[in-house]
């Protein structure tokens, strides 16, 4: 680890004292809880669907609502991080986001349930803050790994919630609570955890290695030099990554929403068992997304920025092929095995994407991270229309989605860097590697 006012050049998981590593641990844990709350209702949907009498189209609409608002939220949150810093942004998002998570149990109709899922979707923007915070805390030699690990361990919440929420429901019903109250009371637990974590984030972290943005500006030391929004919006690389992230994280969000229902309906599994199987997809985040960041960083060390981009294209293509294969499998053991492989490539693609993002526009890192992150939710919204269609089976929708991912992998050809960018990135990389060898 470098000095306290510099970016970290290595990740020390047992370090909870240094400023970068405190941000590392708090950001992944906050995102984990946000993800847990965001998708906490998903494994309980068979019960909610029956109780509220929801049609397939209405279930599809609630899935779309849970990710649609996040598109707008991520754009705004990225801009906010550049202005007020990740510390306050994260704290207030967690505390405010806890309210609809804990309150979704108040829904008694399709319309009210839809509105609660829409409101809960805002906390999905926490991903942007996580990526922003680790990007400003870690040096080029390990920033991809730091981004991938914090995001991956955060996304792990999507797998854990698939397994844990049905168990919480079972525990509550075992205590004599009926299903009407069971799923409602179960959602209060992640709501409380989110609120408490928001307070902790405010107390335990700071915006950058040098200090909080407000303090730095009072000392007339800008936290970062801001570029124009226009230069970000006009950059085709940003929008290529927007679509690419939709093809990996958007797919993950979609699978998190439909996996339990798919295994319940298609393979005849019970609610708890279907949740456990679906949870395997999210559990791969324990290491899969980190692998994407690690290999992205290694490709950057050996082949520069072009190496990072090339690796991204390869793993994204593999994801699409694995998803198409998954859609054709009717035998449960093979489907589970393929789900794990498909998950591996999906999350490696996500990690690889955010090993590229910090190098696109350093002056507007938050906005770039926000736009690309919004692409993930835009992809989930687009995919949601496939799964709400009465004319398409879930298997057919998965096949079409896999084909789209394969096509999207070729958009890496649009993510190019100038010789000046490559030279600058190489100099920064050499400096961080030199600091690491000394430290």
Enumerate residues 6+ apart whose C-beta is below 8 A from 206.
Answer: 19, 23, 87, 212
Q: Quote the pLDDT of residue 439.
A: 57
Kindly report the number of other CB atoms within 10 A of residue 229's CB atom. 12
Tokens of 133: 């915070």
Q: Quote the pLDDT of residue 295.
A: 93
Q: For residues 9 and 431, what is the distance between their CA atoms, to the nearest angstrom?
A: 10
Q: Quote the pLDDT of residue 409.
A: 96
Q: Give the residue ranges of the chain where pLDDT is below 50.
A: 1-5, 223-224
Question: Beta partners for 138?
Answer: 8
Please report the DSSP string for 45-70 in residue order: HHHHHHHHT--HHHHHHHHHHHHHHH
Cβ atoms 343, 280 nearer than 8 A: yes
- Nearest residue to 317 via CA among 413, 404, 417: 404
- Nearest residue to 49 via CA among 242, 274, 347: 274
Q: Which domains are delineated in the chain?
A: 19-213+229-438 (1.20.1250.20)
Cα 39 to Cα 117, 165, 415, 438: the distances in Å are: 9, 10, 32, 44
pTM: 0.79
Q: Quote the pLDDT of residue 160.
A: 83
Q: Quote the pLDDT of residue 322.
A: 95
Cβ atoms 33, 94 nearer than 8 A: yes
Q: Quote the pLDDT of residue 4.
A: 39
3-state SS assignment for residue 209: coil
pLDDT tens digits, one per residue of 275-325:
888 888 878 888 888 999 999 989 988 988 999 999 999 999 999 999 999
Question: Mean pLDDT across the chain, nearest whole number?
Answer: 88
Residue 186: CA atoms inside 13 Å, Cβ hemisphere, count? 32
């Amino acid at each position: 680890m470098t000095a306290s006012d510099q970016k970290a050049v290595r990740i020390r998981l047992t370090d909870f004292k240094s400023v970068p590593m405190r941000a590392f641990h708090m950001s992944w844990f906050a995102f984990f809880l946000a993800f847990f709350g965001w998708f906490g209702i998903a494994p309980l949907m068979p019960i909610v669907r029956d109780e509220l009498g929801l049609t397939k189209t209405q279930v599809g609409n609630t899935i779309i609502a849970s990710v649609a608002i996040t598109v707008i939220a991520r754009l705004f949150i990225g801009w906010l991080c550049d202005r007020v810093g990740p510390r306050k942004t994260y704290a207030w998002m967690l505390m405010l986001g806890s309210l609809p998570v804990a309150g979704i149990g108040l829904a008694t109709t399709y319309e009210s349930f839809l509105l609660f899922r829409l409101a809960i979707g805002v906390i999905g923007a926490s991903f942007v803050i996580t990526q922003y915070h680790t990007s400003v805390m870690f040096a080029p030699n390990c920033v991809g790994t730091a981004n991938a690990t914090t995001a991956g361990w955060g996304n792990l919440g999507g797998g854990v919630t698939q397994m844990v929420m049905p168990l919480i429901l079972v525990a509550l019903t075992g205590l004599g609570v009926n299903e009407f109250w069971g799923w409602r009371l179960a959602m209060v637990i992640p709501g409380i955890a989110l609120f408490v974590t928001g307070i902790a984030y405010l107390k335990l972290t700071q915006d950058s290695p040098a200090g909080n943005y407000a303090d730095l500006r009072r000392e007339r030391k800008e936290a970062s030099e801001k570029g124009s929004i226009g230069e970000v919006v006009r950059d085709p690389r940003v929008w290529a990554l927007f679509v690419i992230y939709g093809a990996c994280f958007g797919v993950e969000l979609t699978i998190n929403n439909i996996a339990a229902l798919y295994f319940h309906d298609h393979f005849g599994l019970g609610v708890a068992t279907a949740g456990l199987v679906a949870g395997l997809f999210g559990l791969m985040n324990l290491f899969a997304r980190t692998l994407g960041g690690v290999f992205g960083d290694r490709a950057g060390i050996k082949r520069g920025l072009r190496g990072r981009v090339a690796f991204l294209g390869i793993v994204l293509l593999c994801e699409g092929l694995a998803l198409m294969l998954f859609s054709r499998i009717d035998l449960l053991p093979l489907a589970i095995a393929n789900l794990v492989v498909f998950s591996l490539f999906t999350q490696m693609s996500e990690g690889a994407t955010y090993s590229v993002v910090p190098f696109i526009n350093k002056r507007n890192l938050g906005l770039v991270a926000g736009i690309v992150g919004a692409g993930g939710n835009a992809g989930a919204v687009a995919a949601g229309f496939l799964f709400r269609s009465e004319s398409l089976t879930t298997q057919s929708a998965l096949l079409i989605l896999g084909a789209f991912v394969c096509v999207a992998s070729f958009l890496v050809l649009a993510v190019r860097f100038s010789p000046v960018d490559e030279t600058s990135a190489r100099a920064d990389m050499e400096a961080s590697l030199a600091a690491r060898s000394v430290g």
